[in-house]
A and B are shown apart, each in its own frame.
Chain A
Amino acid sequence: MTVAVEKPETPQKTQEPAPPATRVRRVSRRTMVAAILVAWLVLFALLRGKQTLTLAAADLTDLHRWFNDLNDSIGANRNSNPLFLYFFNEIRLVIDNLVTFVQELISQPSGDRPVPQIGWLGVVGITGYVSWAVGNWRVALLAVAGFTFLGLQGLWQESMDTLALTLSAVFVALLFAIPLGVWAGLNDRFNRIVTPFLDFMQTMPTFVYLAPMTLFFLIGPASATIATVIYAAPPAIRITAHAIRSVPETTVEAADSMGATQRQALLKVLLPMSKRTVVMGVNQSIMAALAMVTITALIDAPGLGKTVLQALQSLDVGTAFNAGLAIVVLAIVLDRVTTAASTREEAARKSSGRFLAWRRPLLGAGAAVTAVLVYMSHTYLWAAEFPGEGTTGSKIASAADTATTWAQDNLSGLTNAFRDAITNGLLNPFQSLLTDSPWWLVGAALIGLGVVLGGPRAAITTVVCVGLLVGTGVWSDAMTTLASTAVATVLVMLLGIVFGVWMGRSPLVDRLMRPTLDAAQVMPPFVYLVPFLALFGATRFTAIVAAIVYAAPVATKIIADGVRNVPATTVEAATSAGCNTWQIITKVQLPMARGALTLATNQGLIYVLSMVVVGGLVGAGALGYDVVAGFSQGQLYGKGLAAGLAIVLLGVMFDRITQAAARRTSA
């Protein structure tokens, strides 16, 4: 292996006597990658089909059985174990009370009342008032319009259940996330310790811990909230830590020299200065929580997710779309309000002082009006229950139905040809290379690529991940998943570059496309499974398309940002040198946005991986199917858990390699 890697490197150096140092390294690295791939292909041809570690769908390894037994013994002993009686049950009680309290406030009948304490008018009033107070009047208008739209869709109660659960989960998540984030920001060692745990929490498919969640915390909102907390806390922790770390060192030193204690420095300098970024962490936490809405509906979490899942059972695309749209509306409102909140102080500082003088009385008056609205919605039926039949919702549903039926009838032939081309030309060869090679060959190739692209530290991570992947007993499935994931990422990057460059070069395109990208990211994948199944059948390709819909927006946004950040003077210089548009893009803008491209690849891959389980529902098989099966069948629980671990390992491996590669290219 090493001989094959080193060979092409030496002549390179002798042929070019004095090139710039960076150039040598880049060229040789590319050649080394090529050499690894050639060596892999040669050995694959020789050793095809040997030592592939395949495992049939119903087969288990000892590790899987051990997980099963562990799961069973927890279930059997939960009423006698003190850990349950005094720890898990207490947690559950607290969370359950919190969720029930919020639900009775805005979504569920409370006590003798047939309606919640605050009806729709009150909720809309509070939303508008709070959005205005923390943001500005424009987002307040958006929030009021958005929430009213939820009612018009005929989904008021479902939306409020979702909102109640999201708010409770985000509240609990922040309770832990902000202190932990501050700690991680102040202490590098703690940061290093906590990072792998955060990776784990974000990449482990929720399906894997959904079943144990009900074992620990019973069925219902408490389990759903805790599952959501696990997924929603990491972004807030990471961003808080990042915020604390980005406070300029000179400011901290100045505080120190003034004799501030550590506590004072934290409370008076670090926290206030990082407030803006911390609010962005809250924003990310809310978005992550909303992504869990449909998944937690599988363990009886109330809200819009239930509507989506139930519609899916009878393949009712329209109803599922209507509920999905409500989730998108909620997400957009909450996103815009929190974003406005994070920039409010800056905006306020810029605006004139006269307005500030008026602000206080206006806030007071607003509070009064809101109080009246809340009181009325508490007292009168018309203000408590959203009036009307939600006819907008049924109109949206039937429009969505018509659109999908049209697409299914007219595009099916086209899509099948496209599917077969990608499957036969790209996916199948790649998959057989990964699954039919002996496991040690694939492992060695991955480690080799890790060394070349990411350097020695990334290589160590790769060695550990490959070893653990073999240990999970689902190696072959992991390789199948890896093949689809890689193909999906390639397609994501193609789309990302095309649209990202377009958006980066034209602010108008950017403004037009951004809402669509936001919606694609937040719309629950369960909604578009049915039309995709009709277009592409139950195949691996359908899973790839679903992953692209979810991952391409992120990559596009990052690339657009990178292209926009290329200094205008550089582009002007190239234009005056006579470059045409194509040359500017390929020779100037893309090379200079290389850092953004690597980051986009990294994020694209992670997002694609997070769709593996959804892929398992539409015919992708492999790890995704294993995870879903583990959630559905007791005897496959352990295998599902192992498959979930394998997804995490793939994620960690690629994250470390691409990040190290990004550091090396930008250095």
Chain B
Amino acid sequence: MARQARQWRVGVAGIAGAAVIGLTLSACGGTKVGDSSSDAGGSAGSDKCDTFNLAVNPWVGYEANAAVLAHVAEKDLGCKVTKKDLKEEIAWQGFGTGEVDAVVENWGHDDLKKKYITDQKTAVDAGATGNEGLIGWYVPPWLAEAHPDILDWNNLNKYAAKFKTSESGGKGQLLDGDPSFVTNDEALVKNLKLDYKVVYAGSETALIQAFRKAEKNKEWVIGYFYEPQWFMSEVPLKKIKLPEYKAGCDADAEKVACDYPVYKLDKIVSKKFAESGSPAYDLVKNFTWTNDDQNVVAKYIAVDKMTPEAAAEKWVAANRDKVDAWIK
């Protein structure tokens, strides 16, 4: 016991000493936490805007949409924006639990629309983003230049042997990407009687790396890709013409033998958010821009390695008129 008491005495003396030192230091310590409160609350938000929970799906194009929306919501509307990095499926799940207010670049996903908008009624459509999504098969530019006829699907079998890899089991390799992408490729290969095998790279990263390398070393690669995409500004891939899309030709997933439709990318918000009267909802609803707009911001982020915030700030400063139309 005595020993313990001594230990305590030492401790108390130490802390007392510390307090003295602390107080002395505070006289010459520099800026204190909370001193610079002047810059807080200085933004223009007259409407009251609470927290805005914005899902960020994992591709750079989406990140561009999210960055610009977050920037405008914060600076012009005075919202507190919470970005949440989530895959699509999980982001949509968040509508029901109130964890996610908006998904701002949706590619088709009719299954999710049925589940969350029609059945569970936790989400609503908030209109198009103005971006047009192209999905299809692409080849690196050098290949399109060297063999222009490859851009027509009818000639694909002619070149199948060139696309052989260690993974394709003697056929040509058609490289597919992330499993969350919308794809009919296996059915297409079968129904168009192509001598190819779909090989799943498993991630967008793998797909981009394959195309980047193919262009650099003049390798034969054909694969699934999409626009708008920042990578197009680095390597402008060429799209292959598949049998033309007609409404309903992709109704039966097993029998698809036509190109992908042009996707009108849209925004989905939670029902709660849509009814909240938040100015952030009006912003999301009014937000539209072009593929070029998105590519510029995506390039700032992915190629110029700016932070999403800085990229958004730069674009907004240069496109004030467009932004004003969203928040008028």
Contacts and interface: CB of A to CB of B under 8 A. Distances in A.
Contacts, number: 215
B234 to A, nearest CB: 10
A57 B189 CA distance: 13
Contacts of A424: 166
B18 A368 contact: yes
A382 B94 contact: no
A313 B217 CA distance: 22
Contacts of B13: 364, 368
A628 B93 CA distance: 17
Interface stretch (B134-142, B201-209, B316-324): B201-209
B85 A634 contact: no
B12 to A, nearest CB: 9
B33 A380 contact: yes
Contact of A534 (B86, B90, B213): B213
A306 B85 contact: yes
Interface in B207-221: 207-210, 212-213, 217
Contact of B87 (A113, A298, A420): A298
Interface string B157-180: 000000001110000000100111
Contact of B18 (A112, A211, A215, A375): A375
Contact of A379 (B19, B33, B115, B303): B33
A556 to B, nearest CB: 28
Contacts of A408: 213
B130 interface: no
Interface stretch (A138-146, A171-179, A342-350, A616-624): A616-624
Interface in A400-446: 408, 412, 419-420, 423-424, 428
B200 to A, nearest CB: 5
B14 A365 contact: yes
Given A219-B90, A368-B17, A634-B115, A625 B179 contact: yes
Nearest to A541: B166
A251 interface: no
B205 A533 contact: yes
Given A300-B85, A313-B204, A364-B14, A632 B167 contact: no
Nearest to B179: A629
Contacts of B87: 298, 631-632
A57 B205 contact: no
B249 interface: no
B192 interface: no
Interface in B19-49: 19, 21-22, 25-26, 29-36
Interface stretch (A70-78, A228-236, A567-575, A597-605): A70-78
**Among A58, A309, A620, A633: residue with most chain B CB under 10 A:** A633
A58 B186 contact: yes
Nearest to A318: B305
Given A538-B199, A625-B179, A381 B33 contact: yes
A595 B284 CA distance: 63
A606 B316 CA distance: 51
A620 B301 CA distance: 29
A528 B16 CA distance: 51
B58 interface: yes
B100 interface: yes
A56 B200 CA distance: 12
Interface in B75-132: 84-90, 93-94, 96-97, 99-100, 111-112, 115, 119-120
Nearest to B87: A632
**Among A380, A540, A541: residue with most chain B CB under 10 A:** A380
B202 A628 contact: yes
Given A57-B186, A365-B14, A420-B166, A636 B86 contact: no
B265 interface: no
A79 B93 CA distance: 13
B171 to A, nearest CB: 14
A539 B200 CA distance: 9
A47 interface: no
Given A300-B85, A379-B33, A534-B213, A616 B166 contact: no
Interface residues of A, number: 81
Given A75-B96, A371-B15, A618-B202, A379 B32 contact: yes
B10 interface: yes
A379 B25 CA distance: 11
A75 B179 contact: no
B59 interface: yes
A313 B59 contact: yes
B155 interface: no
Contacts of A219: 84, 86, 90, 93-94, 97, 99-100
A367 B208 contact: no
Nearest to A377: B33
B179 A632 contact: yes
Nearest to A618: B206
B11 interface: yes
B65 to A, nearest CB: 14
Nearest to B206: A538
B147 to A, nearest CB: 21
A63 interface: no
Contacts of B175: 538
Contact of A636 (B30, B119, B179): B179
Contact of A360 (B10, B94, B115): B10
B260 interface: no
A615 to B, nearest CB: 8
B201 A618 contact: yes
Interface string A131-162: 00000000000000000000000000000000
B52 interface: no
A534 B212 CA distance: 9
A590 interface: no
Contact of A78 (B97, B165, B201): B97
B7 interface: yes
A342 B10 CA distance: 26
A76 B120 contact: yes
A376 B175 CA distance: 56
B253 interface: yes
4 smallest CB-CB distances across A and B, nearest first, come from A368-B14, A632-B180, A629-B179, A364-B10
24 contacts: A56-B186, A57-B200, A58-B253, A78-B97, A219-B90, A219-B94, A300-B86, A314-B60, A360-B10, A375-B18, A375-B22, A376-B22, A376-B29, A379-B29, A382-B30, A424-B166, A530-B209, A619-B199, A619-B201, A625-B202, A629-B180, A632-B87, A633-B180, A634-B89
Interface of B: 6-7, 10-11, 13-15, 17-19, 21-22, 25-26, 29-36, 58-60, 63, 84-90, 93-94, 96-97, 99-100, 111-112, 115, 119-120, 165-167, 175, 178-180, 186, 198-210, 212-213, 217, 230, 253, 301-303, 305
Given A114-B34, A538-B175, 6 more contacts: A364-B10, A375-B22, A538-B199, A618-B201, A619-B199, A629-B179
